[in-house]
């Protein structure tokens, strides 16, 4: 409860500051990373990097906001420095001169479609039925459109419920019958009633789940600090890929997420073991291959206007910072 209250208060405090100011905040010492999800054990790959960057003189923090739209607007307006999520569609809407660019692939898609097996046994059973997803513009929305095309079905509705943990509870309570969940909440739902809940196969889905994006002027102004953060993010990804038990150990050593409920603490290592097996953490920050893969997936799912071959990666990504960080780390 204390953990949830602190997260709620942090969000309320941020929203108040968002309403109170319209000026850019780049002079602040702390670099704020905002995402539309709860900060849990899955965030340790970031938090470990932040702690190591702090030892090198760069201060960063993670906060949760209510929606991906709010995250993008906060980045666009300069109230936070870095957004976590997917902003391709918003960038395309703004055009080639959009002031925001992706600069790092945090993780690849790792969602699973979890269903009430008493009601849904195949994708065809979802034709004309509702699906619950994270938010507009999210990876779960892109997967939903992609599944409609692959299986020749049409969902009656896509309802937005931010937070895998919230959707998981709704599924267990019987409020919904089908949704996309992250690895941790998939495990919790399946364990609650293996006879009732199951997974629908997504097939070969390859795209980014979470990217880091920021205003171009911020990336230029704080290039040195951001390079250090990218070096530490890549270092974390490489070490975790080599040893998925590392996040749980470093959480204790570094004193990270002290109020995390024990139920979620117990899920840290199983989550990272599964994520590593699925290849979710790119060791080189994604870069151009990630951009091209995202173009193919998002155009196919309707998340971007194509064809994919006509999309210019430089209109969506800043590759320079990542290349410098890779060179320094290697």
What distance in Å separates the CA atoms of residue 78 and residue 112, rounded to the nearest whole number?
33
* Domain shared by 90 and 144, yes or no: no
DSSP for 94-163, written as a single string: H-TT-SEEEEEEEEE---EEEEETTT-SSGGGGTTSEEEES-TTSHHHHHHHHHHHHHT---SEEEE---
* Domain shared by 175 and 189, yes or no: yes
* Domain shared by 143 and 292, yes or no: no
Question: Of 200, 216, 244, which residue constitutes the final position of a domain?
Answer: 200
Q: What percent of the chain has pLDDT over 70?
A: 92
On the question of pLDDT at 237 being above 90, the answer is yes
What distance in Å separates the CA atoms of residue 185 and residue 165, rounded to the nearest whole number?
6
3-state SS class at 198: strand
Q: Give, for 192, the enclosing helix (H) or strand (E).
A: helix 183-192
DSSP secondary structure code for residue 36 in this structure:
S
Confidence of residue 204 (pLDDT cuts 50, 70, 90): confident
* Domain shared by 83 and 224, yes or no: yes
Question: Of 182, 200, 218, which residue constitutes the final position of a domain?
Answer: 200
pLDDT reported for residue 294: 94
pLDDT reported for residue 203: 81
Q: What's the Cα-to-Cα distance from 93 to each of 48, 97, 207, 264, 304, rounded to whole Å?
A: 34, 10, 20, 38, 9
Q: How far separated are the first and last CA of the chain, in Å rounded? A: 43
How do residues 63-98 score in pLDDT, each as one tens digit?
A: 999 888 999 999 999 999 999 999 999 999 999 999
Phi/psi at 34 (5° precision): -115, 135
Pairing, β 60-64 against β 100-108:
unpaired
105 touches 290 (CB < 8 A) = yes
* Domain shared by 212 and 309, yes or no: yes
3-state SS class at 52: helix
* Domain shared by 124 and 101, yes or no: no
Cβ neighbour number for residue 14 with a 10 Å cutoff: 20
* Domain shared by 173 and 222, yes or no: no
Cβ neighbour number for residue 328 with a 10 Å cutoff: 12
pLDDT reported for residue 67: 86
How do residues 30-71 score in pLDDT, each as one tens digit?
A: 999 999 888 999 999 999 999 999 999 999 999 999 888 999
Number of domains in the chain: 2
Domain range for residue 139?
112-200
Residue 318 CB contacts under 8 Å (≥ 6 apart), including other chains? 101, 102, 103, 216, 219
Q: Which of 48-57, 106-115, 167-176, 226-235 has the lowest mean pLDDT?
A: 106-115
* Domain shared by 90 and 118, yes or no: no
* Domain shared by 252 and 267, yes or no: yes
Closest C-alpha to 305, from 93, 72, 69: 93
* Domain shared by 165 and 261, yes or no: no
Question: Of 181, 200, 219, which residue constitutes the final position of a domain?
Answer: 200
82 touches 210 (CB < 8 A) = no
- What's 145's domain CATH number? 3.40.190.10
* Domain shared by 38 and 80, yes or no: yes
* Domain shared by 21 and 92, yes or no: yes
């Amino acid at each position: 409860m204390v953990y949830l209250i602190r997260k709620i208060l942090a969000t309320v405090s941020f929203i108040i500051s968002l309403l109170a100011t319209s000026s850019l905040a780049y002079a602040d010492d702390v670099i704020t990373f905002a995402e539309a999800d709860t900060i849990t054990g899955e965030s340790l790959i970031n938090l470990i990097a932040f702690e190591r960057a702090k030892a090198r003189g760069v201060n960063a923090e993670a906060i949760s906001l209510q929606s991906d739209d709010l995250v993008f607007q906060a980045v666009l307006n300069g109230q936070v420095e870095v957004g976590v999520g997917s902003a391709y569609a918003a960038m395309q809407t703004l055009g080639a001169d959009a002031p925001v660019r992706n600069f790092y692939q945090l993780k690849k898609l790792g969602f699973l479609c979890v269903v009430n097996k008493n009601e849904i046994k195949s994708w065809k059973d979802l034709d004309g039925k509702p699906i619950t997803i994270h938010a507009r513009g999210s990876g779960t929305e892109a997967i939903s459109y992609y599944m409609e095309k692959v299986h020749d079905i049409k969902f009656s509705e896509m309802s937005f419920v931010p937070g895998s943990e919230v959707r998981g509870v709704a599924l267990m309570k019987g409020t919904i019958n089908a949704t996309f969940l992250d690895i941790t909440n998939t495990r919790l739902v399946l364990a609650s009633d293996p006879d009732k809940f199951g997974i629908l196969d997504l097939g070969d889905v390859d795209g980014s789940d979470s990217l880091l994006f920021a205003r171009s002027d911020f990336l230029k102004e704080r290039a040195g600090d951001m390079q250090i953060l990218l070096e530490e993010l890549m270092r974390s990804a490489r070490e975790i890929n080599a040893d998925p038990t590392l996040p749980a150990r470093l959480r204790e050593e570094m004193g990270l997420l002290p109020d995390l409920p024990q139920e979620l603490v117990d899920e840290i290592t199983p989550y990272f073991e599964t994520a590593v097996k699925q290849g979710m953490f790119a060791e080189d920050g994604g870069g151009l291959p990630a951009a091209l893969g995202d173009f193919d997936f998002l155009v196919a799912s309707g998340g971007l206007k194509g064809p994919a071959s006509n999309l210019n990666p430089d209109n969506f990504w800043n590759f320079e910072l990542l290349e410098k960080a890779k060179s320094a780390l290697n």
